[in-house]
Structure 1
Protein backbone atom coordinates (compact mmCIF):
# COMPACT_ATOMS: atom_id res chain seq x y z
CA UNK A 1 0.00 0.00 0.00
CA UNK A 2 1.34 3.40 -0.98
CA UNK A 3 1.65 6.20 1.53
CA UNK A 4 1.29 9.95 1.44
CA UNK A 5 4.87 11.17 1.89
CA UNK A 6 5.65 14.86 2.21
CA UNK A 7 9.04 16.42 2.91
CA UNK A 8 9.03 19.96 4.32
CA UNK A 9 12.41 21.49 3.52
CA UNK A 10 14.25 24.64 4.55
CA UNK A 11 14.34 27.65 2.24
CA UNK A 12 16.44 26.86 -0.83
CA UNK A 13 17.36 28.70 -3.99
CA UNK A 14 15.22 26.46 -6.21
CA UNK A 15 12.44 23.92 -5.86
CA UNK A 16 14.78 20.92 -5.64
CA UNK A 17 17.69 22.47 -3.76
CA UNK A 18 20.01 20.82 -6.28
CA UNK A 19 21.28 24.02 -7.83
CA UNK A 20 23.97 26.63 -7.50
CA UNK A 21 27.74 26.27 -7.45
CA UNK A 22 27.93 24.00 -4.39
CA UNK A 23 25.45 21.15 -4.78
CA UNK A 24 24.65 19.42 -1.49
CA UNK A 25 25.31 15.68 -1.94
CA UNK A 26 22.54 14.79 0.50
CA UNK A 27 20.01 16.80 -1.52
CA UNK A 28 21.29 15.15 -4.69
CA UNK A 29 20.77 11.72 -3.10
CA UNK A 30 17.23 12.57 -2.02
CA UNK A 31 16.26 14.15 -5.36
CA UNK A 32 17.70 11.21 -7.31
CA UNK A 33 15.98 8.62 -5.15
CA UNK A 34 12.63 10.44 -5.26
CA UNK A 35 12.90 10.50 -9.07
CA UNK A 36 13.53 6.76 -9.01
CA UNK A 37 10.51 6.21 -6.76
CA UNK A 38 8.37 8.30 -9.08
CA UNK A 39 9.57 6.10 -11.95
CA UNK A 40 8.02 3.22 -10.02
CA UNK A 41 4.72 5.06 -9.65
CA UNK A 42 5.33 6.28 -6.08
CA UNK A 43 4.77 9.86 -5.04
CA UNK A 44 6.80 12.00 -2.67
CA UNK A 45 5.89 15.68 -2.39
CA UNK A 46 8.60 18.17 -1.47
CA UNK A 47 7.78 21.59 -0.06
CA UNK A 48 10.39 24.33 0.00
CA UNK A 49 9.89 26.96 2.72
CA UNK A 50 10.74 29.80 0.33
CA UNK A 51 8.61 28.70 -2.65
CA UNK A 52 5.68 26.92 -0.96
CA UNK A 53 5.29 28.52 2.48
CA UNK A 54 1.53 27.95 2.51
CA UNK A 55 2.07 24.18 2.81
CA UNK A 56 3.94 24.81 6.09
CA UNK A 57 1.09 26.97 7.37
CA UNK A 58 -1.65 24.52 6.38
CA UNK A 59 -0.08 21.45 8.00
CA UNK A 60 -0.75 21.95 11.72
CA UNK A 61 1.78 19.29 12.84
CA UNK A 62 4.57 20.90 10.82
CA UNK A 63 3.43 24.40 11.78
CA UNK A 64 3.45 23.50 15.50
CA UNK A 65 6.91 21.90 15.21
CA UNK A 66 8.30 25.00 13.49
CA UNK A 67 6.68 27.31 16.04
CA UNK A 68 8.15 25.42 18.98
CA UNK A 69 11.55 24.40 17.55
CA UNK A 70 12.30 26.95 14.82
CA UNK A 71 13.46 26.41 11.22
CA UNK A 72 16.54 24.42 12.27
CA UNK A 73 14.18 21.45 12.73
CA UNK A 74 13.82 21.21 8.92
CA UNK A 75 13.63 19.01 6.96
CA UNK A 76 10.53 17.32 8.35
CA UNK A 77 9.26 14.11 6.78
CA UNK A 78 5.52 13.67 7.18
CA UNK A 79 3.92 10.33 6.33
CA UNK A 80 0.19 9.55 6.48
CA UNK A 81 -0.62 12.28 8.95
CA UNK A 82 2.36 11.85 11.25
CA UNK A 83 5.83 13.32 11.55
CA UNK A 84 8.29 10.47 10.95
CA UNK A 85 11.62 12.28 10.93
CA UNK A 86 13.00 15.72 11.73
CA UNK A 87 16.31 17.46 11.18
CA UNK A 88 17.67 15.11 8.51
CA UNK A 89 16.49 13.53 5.29
CA UNK A 90 15.27 9.95 5.50
CA UNK A 91 17.40 7.08 4.26
CA UNK A 92 16.49 5.64 0.87
CA UNK A 93 15.27 2.43 2.53
CA UNK A 94 12.91 4.40 4.79
CA UNK A 95 11.49 6.37 1.86
CA UNK A 96 10.95 3.17 -0.11
CA UNK A 97 9.31 1.44 2.86
CA UNK A 98 7.02 4.40 3.55
CA UNK A 99 6.14 4.48 -0.16
CA UNK A 100 4.87 0.91 0.20
CA UNK A 101 7.69 -0.90 -1.57
CA UNK A 102 8.76 -4.36 -0.52
CA UNK A 103 12.43 -5.23 -0.15
CA UNK A 104 12.24 -7.18 -3.41
CA UNK A 105 10.68 -4.22 -5.27
CA UNK A 106 13.39 -1.92 -3.93
CA UNK A 107 16.17 -4.30 -5.01
CA UNK A 108 14.58 -4.63 -8.44
CA UNK A 109 14.38 -0.83 -8.78
CA UNK A 110 18.03 -0.44 -7.77
CA UNK A 111 19.11 -3.12 -10.24
CA UNK A 112 17.09 -1.55 -13.06
CA UNK A 113 18.56 1.90 -12.35
CA UNK A 114 22.11 0.55 -12.23
CA UNK A 115 21.61 -1.13 -15.59
CA UNK A 116 20.09 2.04 -17.06
CA UNK A 117 23.07 4.09 -15.89
CA UNK A 118 25.67 1.67 -17.20
CA UNK A 119 26.47 0.16 -13.81
CA UNK A 120 26.82 3.42 -11.86
CA UNK A 121 25.00 4.13 -8.64
CA UNK A 122 22.54 6.62 -10.07
CA UNK A 123 20.85 7.42 -13.32
CA UNK A 124 21.94 10.10 -15.72
CA UNK A 125 25.63 9.20 -15.68
CA UNK A 126 28.09 10.12 -13.00
CA UNK A 127 27.98 8.71 -9.56
CA UNK A 128 26.32 10.15 -6.49
Structure 2
Protein backbone atom coordinates (compact mmCIF):
# COMPACT_ATOMS: atom_id res chain seq x y z
CA UNK A 1 0.00 0.00 0.00
CA UNK A 2 1.18 3.49 -0.79
CA UNK A 3 2.02 6.02 1.90
CA UNK A 4 1.22 9.73 1.71
CA UNK A 5 2.73 12.27 4.10
CA UNK A 6 1.64 15.91 4.15
CA UNK A 7 3.96 18.41 5.81
CA UNK A 8 1.81 21.48 6.50
CA UNK A 9 2.99 25.00 7.31
CA UNK A 10 2.49 26.22 10.86
CA UNK A 11 -1.27 26.43 11.44
CA UNK A 12 -3.55 26.39 14.45
CA UNK A 13 -5.46 23.44 12.93
CA UNK A 14 -5.54 21.28 9.80
CA UNK A 15 -9.12 22.01 8.77
CA UNK A 16 -8.86 25.66 7.87
CA UNK A 17 -11.96 26.54 9.89
CA UNK A 18 -10.19 28.64 12.50
CA UNK A 19 -9.38 32.29 12.14
CA UNK A 20 -11.32 35.07 10.44
CA UNK A 21 -11.71 33.30 7.07
CA UNK A 22 -12.16 29.66 6.12
CA UNK A 23 -9.76 28.23 3.54
CA UNK A 24 -11.90 25.86 1.44
CA UNK A 25 -8.79 24.11 0.11
CA UNK A 26 -7.72 23.12 3.64
CA UNK A 27 -11.22 21.90 4.38
CA UNK A 28 -11.18 19.80 1.19
CA UNK A 29 -7.79 18.29 2.06
CA UNK A 30 -8.90 17.54 5.63
CA UNK A 31 -12.00 15.80 4.28
CA UNK A 32 -9.98 13.77 1.75
CA UNK A 33 -7.47 12.73 4.43
CA UNK A 34 -10.29 11.72 6.78
CA UNK A 35 -11.99 9.67 4.04
CA UNK A 36 -8.76 7.86 3.22
CA UNK A 37 -7.96 7.21 6.90
CA UNK A 38 -11.38 5.59 7.26
CA UNK A 39 -10.49 3.27 4.37
CA UNK A 40 -7.21 2.26 6.01
CA UNK A 41 -4.94 4.25 3.71
CA UNK A 42 -1.55 5.15 5.18
CA UNK A 43 -1.87 8.94 5.09
CA UNK A 44 -0.48 11.32 7.69
CA UNK A 45 -0.29 15.06 8.21
CA UNK A 46 2.36 16.95 10.15
CA UNK A 47 1.90 20.56 11.23
CA UNK A 48 5.09 22.60 11.61
CA UNK A 49 3.68 24.35 14.70
CA UNK A 50 2.72 21.13 16.50
CA UNK A 51 5.26 18.59 15.25
CA UNK A 52 8.53 20.31 14.29
CA UNK A 53 10.49 17.13 15.01
CA UNK A 54 8.79 15.39 12.07
CA UNK A 55 10.17 18.10 9.78
CA UNK A 56 13.65 17.94 11.28
CA UNK A 57 13.75 14.13 11.27
CA UNK A 58 12.65 13.71 7.65
CA UNK A 59 15.77 14.28 5.53
CA UNK A 60 13.79 14.85 2.34
CA UNK A 61 11.53 17.52 3.84
CA UNK A 62 14.45 19.04 5.70
CA UNK A 63 16.35 19.41 2.42
CA UNK A 64 13.38 21.11 0.72
CA UNK A 65 13.13 23.55 3.63
CA UNK A 66 16.87 24.25 3.53
CA UNK A 67 16.73 24.97 -0.21
CA UNK A 68 13.41 26.83 -0.49
CA UNK A 69 12.46 27.92 3.03
CA UNK A 70 9.11 27.67 4.78
CA UNK A 71 7.31 29.08 1.73
CA UNK A 72 7.79 25.63 0.15
CA UNK A 73 5.19 24.21 2.54
CA UNK A 74 3.12 22.19 2.18
CA UNK A 75 5.44 19.41 1.02
CA UNK A 76 3.75 16.20 -0.07
CA UNK A 77 5.60 12.87 -0.06
CA UNK A 78 4.43 9.68 -1.76
CA UNK A 79 6.36 6.66 -0.53
CA UNK A 80 9.09 8.99 0.73
CA UNK A 81 9.50 10.90 -2.55
CA UNK A 82 8.48 14.54 -3.08
CA UNK A 83 5.48 14.74 -5.41
CA UNK A 84 4.27 18.27 -4.69
CA UNK A 85 5.75 21.42 -3.13
CA UNK A 86 4.06 24.67 -2.19
CA UNK A 87 0.46 23.62 -2.74
CA UNK A 88 -1.95 20.91 -1.73
CA UNK A 89 -2.82 18.05 -4.06
CA UNK A 90 -6.10 18.07 -5.89
CA UNK A 91 -8.54 15.25 -5.17
CA UNK A 92 -7.67 13.89 -8.61
CA UNK A 93 -3.98 13.73 -7.66
CA UNK A 94 -4.81 11.97 -4.38
CA UNK A 95 -6.99 9.52 -6.31
CA UNK A 96 -4.25 8.81 -8.86
CA UNK A 97 -1.55 8.30 -6.23
CA UNK A 98 -3.71 6.08 -4.02
CA UNK A 99 -5.46 4.27 -6.88
CA UNK A 100 -8.96 5.17 -5.70
CA UNK A 101 -11.77 7.11 -7.34
CA UNK A 102 -11.94 10.85 -6.73
CA UNK A 103 -15.51 10.35 -5.52
CA UNK A 104 -14.23 8.29 -2.60
CA UNK A 105 -12.40 11.37 -1.35
CA UNK A 106 -15.58 13.39 -1.02
CA UNK A 107 -17.89 10.81 0.50
CA UNK A 108 -19.43 11.92 3.74
CA UNK A 109 -19.14 9.49 6.61
CA UNK A 110 -22.22 7.37 7.14
CA UNK A 111 -23.22 7.44 10.77
CA UNK A 112 -26.13 5.52 12.19
CA UNK A 113 -27.81 6.96 15.22
CA UNK A 114 -30.01 4.86 17.39
CA UNK A 115 -32.89 6.67 19.05
CA UNK A 116 -34.98 5.01 21.71
CA UNK A 117 -38.35 6.56 22.26
CA UNK A 118 -40.24 5.69 25.42
> Is structure 2 residue 73 aligned with structure 1 residue 78?
no
| 8 A Cα contact 1:43 1:99, kept in partner | no
Tell me the equivalent position of 1:109: 104
Q: Would the alpha carbon gap of residues 73 and 24 (structure 1) be closer, same or farther in structure 2, given more than 3 Å must change?
A: same
Q: Is the 8 A contact 2:9 2:70 kept in 1?
A: yes
In structure 1, list runs of 5 or more residues that go unmatched.
117-128
Partner of 1:8: helix, strand, or coil? strand
Distance in 1, matches of 2:103 and 2:12, equals: 34
Secondary structure in 2 aligned to 1:30? helix
TM-score scaled by structure 1? 0.75
1:77 to 1:108, Cα distance in 2 relative to 1, 3 A: closer
- TM-score with structure 2 setting the length: 0.81
1:47 alignment partner, SS class? strand
Checking the alignment, whether the CA contact within 8 Å between 2:6 and 2:76 is kept in structure 1 is: yes
- Runs of 5+ unmatched residues, structure 2: 111-118
Runs of 4+ aligned structure 1 residues displaced above 6 Å come to none
SS at match of 1:31: helix
What number of residue pairs does the alignment pair up? 110
In structure 2, the partner of 1:125 is none
Q: Is the 8 A contact 1:72 1:87 kept in 2?
A: yes
Q: Please provide the CA RMSD for this pair.
A: 2.2
For residues 25-36 of structure 1, the aligned pairs below 5 Å read 25-36=24-35
Indicate how the Cα distance of structure 1 residues 96 and 110 shifts in structure 2: closer, same or farther if over 3 A, else same. Answer: closer
Q: 2:52 corresponds to which residue?
A: 53
The structure that has the greater radius of gyration is: 2
Equivalent residue for 1:123? none
Would the alpha carbon gap of residues 110 and 45 (structure 1) be closer, same or farther in structure 2, given more than 3 Å must change? closer
